[in-house]
Structures are given as structure tokens and as C-alpha cells.
């Protein structure tokens, strides 16, 4: 279930039905003010709603005062082992403190932090990681790691409630994608506090993005999770933010900036689509509107599945075409496709989101498209459409009462 409760981190609501918040963590030494602030501004530009900074030393908590004052987005102080730093981070103005109640020195120290946080109106994130479970759960961890994680989280929640502190969100993370999914599903059934989702140490940009998309995407599709952080082994924290946004955009949970659609290419490709797609993606970064732009590697399918795109291009050897909402705009030389596409997009915005079409140019483009189209070709798109139709027909034939799995996608077992 989606979290009923919410916390507010420096003005950003998390939980209680608010849009899923994107967060990341700076990779700089926090005390290096120049580097840390540069990175915070970059992640804010990339769309981070909140950013977390590690605070392992006195000089970091000192720097936090300036960081909180100058940051364009709320700051979470990430504290381990040292509850004094947590107290100082609250005094420094941090908008939220992340701590693991299991490693901060015992319930009395947790109580001290909770009291100070309560007085300052600062929420906490209490975290449980697969690598740092309390000792008494180590045996359970060997036999049932998911239950061990959930038990630790529920125990911490109980501790906070006994301390009469309820202004917190919970994270429950594992390096295992299936365990993260199973544990968060169980936890969301047991508590109604906001959940922070992440896959611990997910890996490199490539594998980490995929693991995160599978793990977090599965939970988010279930309606579980109120804020996400993608953990990638890269110094460029903005890459984590971009991946988080792609996951949220793919699930239609939030909108931000353009959506690029590109065919996977196949043997029918007749122009250098790799560099065209990369160039289109790069130039789209300058736009904030959630415009949909499509790039097709050939015109064999006509405009086909890109019919809904706000703008698109398709090309052959020498010539290509620009279209909008399934209708041709003009034919252009392949080497000018990208420039002309952005000319049309800019005209669209300059005229208050009106597509401008010259009838002669559009007719020329339609004639070119008719020549290029081949209604008999078995393209990947047509095969996919046929498979989809067959799947729909098969699904219609399923007797729901007899099938134990029919209609159970995205539901908890």
C-alpha cells in the first residue's frame, strides 16, 4: 500500500500520496565546499528534489551550515556511529537526518537525537541495510534474510514510537534485488510510514541502472515507495538523478522534460541512427516540456507506432522526413534531419505550441513516405503488433476463474 503518513523535508513532502521524490547523494568530501556545492547545483539542475551529504567528521558538520544556506534543494545529513554529529547537524540546519538506529550507540543516543529533531521540527530517515543488521538477527538472516530485514525495520519503528517520535521515513535496502522487493512489500503491509527505496551498491551505471529499474520499478508499479535514490558507482551524482527520472517517467509517475522514443534498429536501417539518436537526446536536454520525440531507423513501417509522437524523424539513405502526430511536415536531406527537427520544435514553441505546416512541403514528404513504405515487410514493429494481438486474443480466452495467475500482475502475492 502507498504510505498514509508523510514527512516534509525542507518543503518537499514525502509520502501521503505526494509525487515520488527523487534524491541522490553527493560524492564529494562534504567539507570541500566548492566541490560539494558544484555537485549539489548539478544534481538540482538534473532534477533532484533532495540531496544527501555524508557527515563523518567535525569539519563536515561545520560545512553543513553553509551548504544548507546556499543549496537550492533540501539537505539530508547522512550520519553513522556518532550521535553527536547528528545533534550538530540538526543545529546546523539540516532538513533531515539519516541514521541507522542500530549503529548510533544504543537507544539512549537515539532518544537524544529524536528529542533534538523533534524540537527543531526535523524529520529522520531510519535505515536498515542488509550488511548491518543487529546481532540478534544474524541467525535469522542466515535462514530468512527478508524476514530479518523486515524485523529489524519494525523493531526500529517500535523504538521510535516508544520515544514518541513519528516524524520519520524508513529505508530497507539490500544488495539483492529480489530481497529488496520482497522485504519492502512485506514492510509496506506492516507499517504506514513513508518508504525510501534503493538497491544498495547497485553497481556501475549500466548494471546499477538496470538493477534499480527492475527492483524499484517493480515496487513503484505496486504503489510502494515515496522517494527513490539510485546508487551508482560514478562520481557524477547527476547520472543517478537522470536514471531515477527515467524510471519515474517510464511508469508515468512523474513528468519531466522530453521523452525520446527510438526504434531498436535492424537490418533495414539506412542511416547512422546511433549518432542521430545521441544528438537528438543531447539537444533535448535543453527543453523542459514533456514533449515526445521519436526517431525511426527507416520508413518501411510508415510512421507506425510513432504516430502519437509530438515530433519525429525517419530516414533512408539520402533523404528523411520530419513528422508530427503522424502527419508529414517536410522532406529533408538526411544530414540535415536533426537540425531541421529542432527548427520545427522551436517553431512549435515560438507559435504557442502550434505545428506549422506548409501544404506543398507536407505533400512532398507524404509522397516520399509512400515510396519508402512497404506494407508487406515483417518488421520488428509489425511482429510485435501481431504478438500483442495474439496475446490479447489468448488473454480473452482465459477463464479467470480457472487461472490462478490471471490478472495478478502488479499485485502482491
Binding residues (CB under 6 A) for ligand SF4: these are 263-266, 268-269, 296-298, 300-301, 379-381
Q: Is 263 known to sit in a ligand binding site?
A: yes
CB-CB contact of 233 with 206 (8 Å): no
In whole angstroms, how close is the CB of 333 to ligand SF4 at the nearest point? 19
Which residues make Cβ contacts (< 8 Å) with residue 345, sequence separation at least 6?
A: 287, 291, 293, 311
What φ, ψ does residue 269 adopt, rounded to 5°?
-60, 135
Shorter beta-carbon distance to ligand SF4: residue 268 or 357? 268
- Residue 290 to residue 298: CA distance in whole angstroms: 25
- Block residue for cell numbers 550538530: 88
Q: Which residue is nearest to ligand SF4 (CB)?
A: 297
**Identity of the residue, 24 or 301, whose beta carbon is nearer to ligand SF4 in the bound complex:** 301
Closest distance of CB 272 from ligand SF4, Å:
12
Check whether 53 is labelled as a binding-site residue.
no
CB of 263 to ligand SF4, least distance (A): 3
Nearest distance from residue 368's CB to ligand SF4, in Å?
15
CA distance 69 to 94: 10
Closer residue to ligand SF4, CB minimum distance, 35 or 269: 269
Q: How far apart are CA 87 and CA 164, in angstroms?
A: 18
> What's the CA gap between 15 and 95, in Å, rounded?
16
Query: Would the annotation count 266 as a binding residue?
Result: yes
User: Percent helix, strand, coil in the chain (nearest 5)?
Assistant: 45, 15, 35
59 half-sphere exposure, CB direction, 13 A CA radius: 5
Minimum distance between the CB of residue 345 and ligand SF4, rounded to whole angstroms? Answer: 21
Residue among 226 and 381 whose Cβ is closer to ligand SF4 = 381
Closest-CA residue to 227 (of 237, 242, 216, 240): 216
Question: Closest CB to ligand SF4 among 106 and 326?
Answer: 326
Shortest Cβ 354–ligand SF4 spacing (Å): 28
54: CB partners within 8 A, 6+ apart: 25, 26, 30, 60, 78
Min separation Cβ 298 and ligand SF4, Å: 3
Nearer to ligand SF4, 246 or 374 (CB): 374
- Is 7 or 298 the residue whose CB approaches ligand SF4 more closely? 298
Residue 65 burial (C-beta neighbours within 10 Å; 0-12, 13-18, 19+): middle
**Pairing between β-strand 75-78 and β-strand 96-99 as defined by DSSP bridges:** parallel
Question: Residues comprising the binding site for [4Fe-4S] cluster?
Answer: 263, 266, 298, 305
Binding residue positions: 263, 266, 298, 305
Amino acid at each position: 500500500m502507498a504510505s498514509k503518513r508523510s514527512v516534509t523535508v525542507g518543503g518537499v513532502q514525502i509520502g501521503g500520496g505526494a509525487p515520488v521524490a527523487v534524491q541522490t547523494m553527493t560524492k564529494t568530501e562534504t567539507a570541500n565546499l566548492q566541490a560539494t556545492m558544484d555537485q549539489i547545483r548539478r544534481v538540482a539542475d538534473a532534477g533532484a528534489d533532495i540531496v544527501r551529504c555524508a557527515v563523518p567528521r567535525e569539519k563536515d558538520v561545520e560545512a553543513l551550515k553553509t551548504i544548507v544556506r546556499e543549496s537550492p534543494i533540501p539537505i539530508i545529513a547522512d550520519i553513522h556511529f556518532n550521535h553527536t554529529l547528528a545533534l550538530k547537524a540538526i543545529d546546523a540546519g539540516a532538513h533531515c537526518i539519516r541514521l541507522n538506529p542500530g549503529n548510533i550507540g544504543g537507544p539512549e543516543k537515539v532518544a537524544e537525537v529524536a528529542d533534538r529533531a523533534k524540537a527543531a521540527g526535523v524529520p529522520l530517515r531510519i535505515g536498515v541495510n542488509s550488511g548491518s543488521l543487529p546481532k540478534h538477527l544474524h541467525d535469522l538472516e542466515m535462514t530468512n534474510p527478508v524476514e530479518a530485514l523486515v524485523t529489524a525495520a519494525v523493531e526500529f519503528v517500535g523504538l521510535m514510537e516508544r520515544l514518541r517520535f513519528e516524524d520519520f521515513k524508513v529505508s530497507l535496502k539490500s544488495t539483492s534485488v529480489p530481497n529488496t522487493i520482497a522485504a519492502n512489500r512485506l514492510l509496506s503491509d506492516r507499517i504506514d510510514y513513508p518508504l525510501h527505496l534503493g538497491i544498495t551498491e547497485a553497481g556501475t551505471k549500466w548494471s546499477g541502472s538496470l538493477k534499480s529499474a527492475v527492483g524499484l520499478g517493480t515496487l513503484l508499479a505496486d504503489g510502494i515507495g515515496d522517494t527513490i535514490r539510485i546508487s551508482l558507482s560514478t562520481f557524477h551524482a547527476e547520472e543517478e538523478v537522470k536514471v531515477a527520472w527515467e524510471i519515474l517517467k517510464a511508469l508515468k509517475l512523474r513528468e519531466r522534460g522530453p521523452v525520446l522514443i527510438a526504434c531498436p534498429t535492424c537490418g533495414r536501417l539506412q542511416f547512422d541512427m546511433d549518432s542521430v539518436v545521441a544528438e537528438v537526446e543531447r539537444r533535448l536536454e535543453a527543453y523542459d516540456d514533456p514533449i515526445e520525440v521519436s526517431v525511426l531507423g527507416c520508413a518501411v513501417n510508415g510512421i507506425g507506432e510513432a504516430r502519437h509522437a509530438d515530433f519525429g524523424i525517419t530516414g533512408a539513405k539520402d533523404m528523411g522526413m520530419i513528422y508530427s502526430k503522424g502527419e508529414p511536415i517536410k522532406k529533408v536531406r538526411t544530414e540535415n534531419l536533426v537540425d531541421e527537427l529542432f527548427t520545427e520544435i522551436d517553431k512549435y514553441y515560438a507559435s504557442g505550441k502550434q505545428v506549422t505546416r506548409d501544404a506543398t512541403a507536407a505533400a512532398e514528404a507524404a509522397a516520399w513516405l509512400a515510396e519508402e513504405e512497404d506494407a508487406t515487410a515483417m518488421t520488428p514493429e509489425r511482429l510485435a503488433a501481431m504478438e500483442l494481438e495474439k496475446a490479447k486474443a489468448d488473454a480473452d480466452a482465459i477463464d479467470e476463474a480457472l487461472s490462478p495467475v490471471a490478472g495478478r500482475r502488479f499485485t502482491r502475492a
